[in-house]
Copies of this chain bind each other. A is one copy, B any other.
Amino acid sequence: MALIDPTLIDPTLIDPTVVASVEAMARRARAAGRELALASRAMKDQALLGMADALMENSDAVVRENLFDLELGAQRGLSAGLLDRLTLSPERIVGIVEAVRELAALADPVGAVVRGSTLPNGLRLRQVRVPMGVVGMVYEARPNVTVDAAGLGLKSGNAVILRGGSAAERTNRAIIGVLRDAVAGAGLPADAIQTIDQFGRDGVRALMRARGLVDLLVPRGGAELIQTVVREAQVPVIETGVGNCHVYVDGAANLDQAVRIVINSKVQRPSVCNAAETLLVDRAVAAEFLPRVLGELADLGVKFHVDAAAQALVPAGAQWEAARAVDWDTEYLDLELAVAVVDGLEGGVAHIQRHSSGHTEAICTQDLGRAQEFTDRIDSAVVMVNASTRFTDGGQFGLGAEIGISTQKLHARGPMGLAELTSTKWICVGNGQVREA
């Protein structure tokens, strides 16, 4: 037996009892996932409706636990924004439950045939959607994500292992207890929904290294959380959500439309990843467009970080400062906007290629050629033409609920719904075919 805790010497070491516990949970998740993969849509939908009913019935108990987390959070000095995200009022629970019921109404992605053919030798080939298996979710202080992830996971036939963070630990434990009972009550394995919150940070690190036991890990939250998971994980990861979104207003834009689009992209809900963070304006229309749009934005409380060319065009009374280099890469998530004047489409594209996080970029133009060039050259998950960046959303796209917005290119890009939580397998049926060469 070691006399000194080895994790104190080497910070890359993880408490071995935590590793063993997390791996044991992942094995139970694997077994539960195998059952879920074979469950009919009817059974899964029944479980979802049971989860919704159980959450309603236990709403008071969940709210009570949430009050403990909120009190502790306030003592620890969590920001008002974090405390708001953490709050589960009875009204919010109704909304969350409604979303679970809507999941039951969505088509089952599992078993859908993606493509298929009969080969020249008579083999009947089809590629079929199957669950991923075991999906890990790492997020912070958002108890609504606990329900979303459990519901989306169950509908897509996956077992989920959740890490909801210490700030929401009591709330999440209460929710997960309710959901597990409901799943078991519907005849499906309770281990389809598990939490590793009790293991703290070592639990996350064990989960990130559980190669062969976790099929997909989705971090959801701030840039730092996501970068940590991407760097350290040895299991497949999908990056979500960092959105340094741009709106480029072209010389050929309808400027009335462009004003509405810029305002909506920045102001309608500034705290989310599909809100715009940088406005780029074609030099050809800067003198006409900028005073007007910045004036309206300033009236709505927006502060500006402006480049040299734009400074003369900021209307009197607006709050602004000169943009520093870091502003072009900043996701404010607040009523702040970086503003630059660029040399036409070429300048706008070059700026975006240098600074975009690959989430959503928009162009305002009435010129078809420039619209095409922008959509061809901008390499982001979503490229908007004459529309608000705020439309990048699974619900808005008609895909149903989403588990996050992928900003990577592997597997899923943009809003991730049920289909993105599945893999495929090839099924090939013959009558004795063998290969000649």
- Knowing A37-B379, A387-B428, A391-B428, the reply to whether A230 touches B257 (Cβ < 8 A) is no
* Chain A interface (Cβ < 8 Å from any Cβ of B): 34, 37-38, 117, 119, 123, 125, 127, 130, 132-133, 211, 215-216, 230-231, 234, 236, 238, 254, 257, 260-261, 263-264, 268, 353, 371, 375-377, 379-388, 390-392, 396-398, 408-411, 413-414, 423-435
- The interface residues of chain A, by DSSP majority, are classed as mixed
- Knowing A396-B119, A396-B435, the reply to whether A216 touches B427 (Cβ < 8 A) is no
So how many copies of this chain end up in the complex? 2
CB distance from A232 to the nearest CB of B (A): 9
CB distance from A250 to the nearest CB of B (A): 14
Which residue of chain B has the shortest Cβ distance to A215 in the bound complex? B409
Contact of A435 among B216, B236, B268, B382 (CB under 8 A): B268
**C-alpha spacing A432/B265, complex, angstroms:** 12
Let me know if B433 and A391 touch, CB within 8 A: yes
Q: Which residues of chain B come closer than 8 Å to A434, judged between CB atoms?
A: 260-261, 263-264, 268, 387-388, 390
Let me know if B432 and A254 touch, CB within 8 A: yes
Q: Which residues of chain B come closer than 8 Å to A385, judged between CB atoms?
A: 427-430
**C-alpha spacing A108/B257, complex, angstroms:** 36
**C-alpha spacing A234/B230, complex, angstroms:** 7
Q: Which residues of chain B come closer than 8 Å to A236, judged between CB atoms?
A: 408-410
Contact of A391 among B123, B392, B410 (CB under 8 A): B123
